């Protein structure tokens, strides 16, 4: 019989390391997406201001929303693997050794909650608002 204080096996530690490696990769992917988003937003903003074009700023919203959805996918996957890690780390866990199945946690980590999380809304929402404001500004000024 195992309890919370009993040590976990070397195989369980290896399983946890594998899960953590996936979480790290997903975090790095999210970081890269944010970098590309900032680059793209800056380029569109520069073109919009340089050409005094509301259409360029308006079109910029489309890829920003696309990056928002893609980054939300990465964040949700990261949260699913964190939930798997949390379950697998406990001694006497029912998680199959070396399983990467996150489906038992999909009902608790909802797609909608991830998309509108503070992290996503603060970053992507602000960029969308800025692009929309620039588009409206240039549209009104024309």
Half-sphere exposure in the Cβ direction for 83 (13 Å, CA): 16
pLDDT tens column, 9-47: 899 999 999 999 999 999 999 999 999 999 999 999 898
Best CA proximity match to 49, nearest among 140, 124, 137: 137
Complete DSSP assignment for 27-53? HHHHHHHHHHHHHHHHHHHHHHHHHT-
Mean pLDDT of 36-59: 89
> Do residues 30 and 94 make contact, with C-beta atoms less than 8 angstroms apart?
no
pTM, two decimals, is 0.87
Mean pLDDT of 129-137: 89
Q: Which residue has the tokens 């489906």?
A: 103
Q: In angstroms, how far is CA 46 from the centroid of its own chain?
A: 26
């Amino acid at each position: 019989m195992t309890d919370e204080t009993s040590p976990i096996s070397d195989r369980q530690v290896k399983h946890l390391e594998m899960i953590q490696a996936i979480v790290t990769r997903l975090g790095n992917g999210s970081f890269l997406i944010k970098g590309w988003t900032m680059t793209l937003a800056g380029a569109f903003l520069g073109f919009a201001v340089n050409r005094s074009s509301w259409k360029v700023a308006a079109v910029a919203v489309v890829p920003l929303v696309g990056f928002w959805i893609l980054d939300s996918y990465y964040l949700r996957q990261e949260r699913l693997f964190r939930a798997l890690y949390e379950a697998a780390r406990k001694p006497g866990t029912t998680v199959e050794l070396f399983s990467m199945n996150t489906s038992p946690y999909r009902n608790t980590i909802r797609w909608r909650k991830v998309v509108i999380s503070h992290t996503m809304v603060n970053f992507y929402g602000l960029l969308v608002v800025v692009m929309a404001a620039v588009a409206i500004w240039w549209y009104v000024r024309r």
